[in-house]
Structure 1
């Protein structure tokens, strides 16, 4: 990525939209967070015409909870009790498109901007099971905070380094949470021209789609 930005600068590219990560500066022990924050530092140092988008945990990651929810009545992602301002991937795509178009349409390179891409809700172990129980019309329980279980499960479908990275990320979610400020949410709402999509809306839509399968 650093090389790409250097080439873009030399070529005089009018604008770039970079997908970083929410809490990248704070989660220094999570490899993919640290890597993205390093790129942000380069962007700042070179004063590039870049919009930095920092998405939180993707709401749509929880599509993978279909089997544990429907077969066992369990939400299995160990997100902990602190809370995460999860973001809908459709909002990420729309934010990126809006910023790409704004920069392309500018007569000159525009100053840098940064947006935290977050949802309007704080989702934790308690709220997530409540939302899914309501959406599915059945009892749902939380699967617990065991990170060893998470890592071993991920190793069966992903490389070991990725499973470990995810373990570290979830550990920080459990320890510190990843909650956005109201100012973060309102700034994103201004960019989108509406409030960000909610986790509850996602759960209701998924429950309806799964009922048709």
Structure 2
């Protein structure tokens, strides 16, 4: 395989896992990076790095030149549709053949979260772009629990405002594995497909606490918290207002049962079952100690 893949969001969790999953794929990897200080670790992994910013379309032609495949990940931001638009336009101008886009779970015009609604706009634009496309709409990331690792280590407890909602949460390594399979298969095989990868079964945060406790061999408690209290805490940690509000919207949706589902998409594409939360907990136990 002699195709060149451009990765956006290359310094994030999912794209980092995707680089791991593509290590022996034969794809030539190039990363679009805004900050030169974040480039050396990518270069050490053999990734070609080009500086550019999806918010500045004039910075993109050099990164897109000679690219056949685009991994399009735009972080949550009010300008996310603009960033996705700039990437799709640059891809069309450069003759990119295929775009695999990371969207949001249940993205739709009537989604209960601003993120889901904005992602729906970008999904629609890509679908109408004339390019070969595949869209991934993964469920809640198990790795999000690592944000609570400090409290779990210090207090044996974590606080979220999701009530007793059950989520079909997924390990980001599995998202990356599915994306890698799509990117290494022929472009025609997954064209026009929307995949919603999930974990093997829905799980509540009370169950998450129990499973973490079993792995860590000490009690772990989940403390349901009022949405306004959690949002105030996030703001206190310096989380921007827009992001804190978006996370509150997701929490309220999940508390209402919006995330209580799974699919077989990961199994159907990769041929194996997705990782369970117990597997995630064992693999990341040191982070919670």
Please, what TM-score do these two structures have when normalized by structure 1? 0.85
The 2-side partners of 1:68 and 1:110 are apart by 41
Q: Does the 8 A contact of 1:121 with 1:199 survive in 2?
A: no
Q: Does the 8 A contact of 2:142 with 2:171 survive in 1?
A: yes
- By percentage of residues, which structure has more strand? 2
- 1:5 Cα offset (Å): 2.0
CA shift digits 1:4-29 (9 cap, x unpaired): 22443454422110000112127623
Structure 1 gaps, min length 5 = none
Higher RCO (CA-CA < 8 Å; seq separation 6+): 1
The 2-side partners of 1:91 and 1:133 are apart by 23
The 2-side partners of 1:91 and 1:2 are apart by 27
Q: Does the 8 A contact of 1:49 with 1:109 survive in 2?
A: no
- By percentage of residues, which structure has more helix? 1
Q: Does the 8 A contact of 2:197 with 2:265 survive in 1?
A: no
CA shift digits 1:129-186 (9 cap, x unpaired): 22122122222222113111211121123111111111111111111331334xx2x2
Residue 244 of structure 2 corresponds to which residue in structure 1? 163
The 1-side partners of 2:189 and 2:206 are apart by 45
Residue 197 of structure 1 corresponds to which residue in structure 2? 275
Match of 2:204 among 116, 124, 131: 124
The 2-side partners of 1:75 and 1:177 are apart by 21
- 1:93 Cα offset (Å): 1.3
Structure 2 gaps, min length 5 = 1-83
Residue 191 of structure 2 corresponds to which residue in structure 1? 111
Give the count of matched residue pairs. Answer: 205
Distance 1:96 1:28, change over 3 A: same
Please, what TM-score do these two structures have when normalized by structure 2? 0.64
Matched, 1:80 2:163: yes
Q: Does the 8 A contact of 1:151 with 1:163 survive in 2?
A: yes
Where in structure 2 are the equivalents of 1:1-213 lying within 5 Å? 1-25=84-108, 28-46=111-129, 48-103=131-186, 106=187, 111-155=191-235, 156-181=237-262, 184=263, 186-208=264-286, 210-211=288-289
Distance 1:88 1:109, change over 3 A: closer
